[in-house]
Amino acid sequence: MLEMFGVNPQALFGQLLIGLINGSFYALLSLGLAVIFGMLNIINFTHGAQYMLGAFCAYFLLQYAGLGYWWAIIIAPLLVGVTGIVVERLFLQWLYKLDHLYGLLLTFGLALIYEGTFRNFFGSSGLPYSVPPELQGGRNLGFMFLPNYRAWVVVLSLAVCLSTWFVIERTKLGAYLRAATENPTMVRAFGINVPRMITLTYGFGVALAALAGVMAAPIYNVSPQMGSNLIIVVFAVVVIGGMGSIMGAIVTGFGLGIIEGLTKVFFPEASNTVIFIVMAIVLLIRPAGLFGRST
Amino acid sequence: MQRVAEPDATHAMRSRSELIAFVLMVVALVVAPMVAYPVFLMKALCFALFACAFNLLIGYVGLLSFGHALFFGWASYVSAHAAKVWGLPPELAILAGAAAAAGLGLIVGALAIRRQGIYFAMITLALAQMMFFFAVQAPFTHGEDGIQAVPRGKLLGLIDLADQTNMYVTVLVIFLGCFLLIYRIINSPFGEVLKAIRENEPRAISLGYKTERYKLVAFVLSATFAGVAGAFFVVTMENYLTTIGQWVFVVQGAIFVVCVLLFRRGIIGELARLLGIRL
């Protein structure tokens, strides 16, 4: 039936898979942005650079410590998360009472510093990072060939997204977090250390970005600009989904990845711009975003 | 739309110090080409005009557009294309560039003002990225190569802009003209409404102002000035392609961080505060 439209099913499913992979990264990154924005009221422009740091961290661990992918996927988010905590303590904590724009400018400046430094030492061409031996190869599903590593990325990203959603929406810790977002003074009056919670939340959001970076390293190359290309698309995803809800960020992330994949099949010229076009349409119809509450 | 009355004495003092600052700037810019390389100065003037256009938005309406380079870049492309391929004289090419920027400003502005604050910044950034992809793919921009060897031509058919001094005077006159125009805009009743929106938008709405319309007009004006800057930039530089060293990004980023943490009123504003001057 698909051939009727002049579409090769092999290509269609292939692009759908690529869309799902991209969607996994959009979802992980926009989830981190939403979590950070909820607690800190700061749009973390450094998110893309921290994703890049995660990938580079995996690369360094392999090159200089001989630790492979499985170690990297645990250590890199922790290390980069710690850098996030340092950044929060050094810079961000002074900005909470100010306009959003200051946080935006500061994190943008940090992103430029990270990216420029790495570009200076590693150039703009990517460094290769190989797929771990356990996940090499793939399986034939009859209608398409599914590389194991890509399946793993989709599954892991879904698992991380859903467990983050579960922790925030369904556990006591998450209840504290949501309460602190609504009214930090009141939560402090109950004896909860809100500033530390904010610091840890930022660390967690940054760790999510780094995790996405490690996952991306074997698929895309490890390169200094890998984050800045992605972060603007993720911003568009966040505008479309609205930052009000965690689930909204996850669903829009995967959904837009798939839309992008489908566009590559049916109208390849627009594949780079389709997300921005969707954003424009959403702004015209529902300015608050698909899952957002109007502010 | 009555202007808020200021006490006469302070008002007179402020306008006098502003006049002195303006005269000093003009004198400095007239003398400058004798000591510095004129092409560098023209480049700086274009960026200064771009900054003025940007300031019109963030400083007076409180809108942070992260995609303003879009108008600069597209005006550059359109003027370069008009001057080189269509063979238009420079004044028409620059007008075409500014008109293109105004049109784009209308579209981007109409979309972006539907959201406030950080969302506004993210939307402008995303739309700029979209137009960037479009610019890289569209045939008339020549992708990564850019448009090379844009002719400077003759202004109004009389003044040969290939001459460095003529070009500098033209750029300077346009810069000062735009500067005064922006000054006039922000001190007009319209400008007062913009400032009211910056301070408290719900209140401006409750006073009966259609703030969306004011914001859109301000956005289009700012985009147009940014476009004029971009158009002049391409005509003076004769091409639109620049390569930048890597450390520039690091330095730029460090400036951002320092400004946010230490110089929240801007470097000039902080210095003025230290010296006890009220700007």
CB–CB contact B260 A105 (8 Å): yes
Say which of B248, B252, B256 has its CB closest to residue A106.
B256
* % of chain A exceeding 70 in pLDDT: 96
- Predicted pLDDT of residue B164: 80
Low-confidence ranges of chain B (pLDDT < 70): 1-14, 143-146, 149, 157, 237-256, 258-279
> Does pLDDT of A158 surpass 60?
yes
DSSP string, chain B: -PPPPPPHHHHHHHHHHHHHHHHHHHHHHHHHHHHS-HHHHHHHHHHHHHHHHHHHHHHHT----TTTHHHHHHHHHHHHHHHHTS---HHHHHHHHHHHHHHHHHHHHHHHTTS-HHHHHHHHHHHHHHHHHHHHHSGGGTGGG--------EETTTEETTSHHHHHHHHHHHHHHHHHHHHHHHTSHHHHHHHHHHH-HHHHHHTT--HHHHHHHHHHHHHHHHHHHHHHHHHHHSS------THHHHHHHHHHHHHHHT-TT-HHHHHHHHHT---
Residues of B in contact with A114 (CB under 8 A): 253
Say which of A102, A232, A269 has its CB closest to residue B129.
A232
pLDDT higher for A90 or B2? Answer: A90
Please state, in angstroms and rounded to a whole number, the distance separating the CA atoms of residues A176 and A193: 10
Domains of chain A listed by start with CATH number? 11-124+145-285 (1.10.3470)
- Predicted pLDDT of residue B83: 83
Chain B closest CA to A37's CA: distance in Å? 11
Residues of B in contact with A95 (CB under 8 A): 260
- Predicted pLDDT of residue A205: 94
Question: Once rounded to an integer, what is the mean pLDDT over residues A109-133?
Answer: 86
Q: How far is CA A191 from the centre of its chain?
A: 32
Chain B closest CA to A53's CA: distance in Å? 15
Is residue A285 a contact partner of residue A234, using CB atoms and an 8 Å limit?
no
CB–CB contact A287 B248 (8 Å): no
Chain B closest CA to A121's CA: distance in Å? 10
Chain A closest CA to B200's CA: distance in Å? 13
- Predicted pLDDT of residue B269: 63
Please state, in angstroms and rounded to a whole number, the distance separating the CA atoms of residues B65 and A154: 35
Nearest chain B residue to A229 by CA distance is B129
**A162-219 pLDDT per residue, tens:** 999 999 889 998 899 888 888 888 999 998 898 999 999 999 999 999 999 999 999 8
Determine how β-strand A145-147 pairs with β-strand A138-140: antiparallel
CB–CB contact B252 A279 (8 Å): no
To test the contact with chain B by mutation, choose from A44, A263, A272 the residue with the greatest count of B C-beta atoms within 10 A, namely A272
Q: At what angle do helices A226-241 and A100-122 cross, to 10 degrees?
A: 150
Question: Once rounded to an integer, what is the mean pLDDT over residues A275-288?
Answer: 84
To test the contact with chain B by mutation, choose from A101, A120, A229, A282 the residue with the greatest count of B C-beta atoms within 10 A, namely A101
Maximum CA extent, chain B: 59
To test the contact with chain A by mutation, choose from B257, B262, B263, B265 the residue with the greatest count of A C-beta atoms within 10 A, namely B257
A6-43 core/surface letters (b: 16 or more CB in 10 A; e: else): eeeeeebbbbbbbbbbbbbbbbbbbbbbbbbbbbbbbb
In what helix (H) or strand (E) does residue A147 lie, and over which residues does it extend?
strand A145-147
3-state secondary structure of A138: strand
Residues of B in contact with A239 (CB under 8 A): 115, 119, 122-123, 126
> Does pLDDT of A155 surpass 50?
yes
Please state, in angstroms and rounded to a whole number, the distance separating the CA atoms of residues A55 and A124: 14
Question: Once rounded to an integer, what is the mean pLDDT over residues A141-149?
Answer: 81
- Predicted pLDDT of residue B243: 41
Please state, in angstroms and rounded to a whole number, the distance separating the CA atoms of residues A122 and A229: 17
To test the contact with chain A by mutation, choose from B130, B132, B144 the residue with the greatest count of A C-beta atoms within 10 A, namely B130
What's the pLDDT band for A160 if we cut at 50, 70, 90? very high
CB–CB contact B118 A104 (8 Å): yes
Residues of B in contact with A223 (CB under 8 A): none
pTM here is 0.82
Question: Once rounded to an integer, what is the mean pLDDT over residues A10-26?
Answer: 88
What's the pLDDT band for A3 if we cut at 50, 70, 90? low
CB–CB contact B115 A283 (8 Å): yes
Chain B closest CA to A228's CA: distance in Å? 11
Question: Once rounded to an integer, what is the mean pLDDT over residues A252-258?
Answer: 92
Between CA B103 and CA B108, with CA B104 as vertex, the angle to 5 degrees is 125
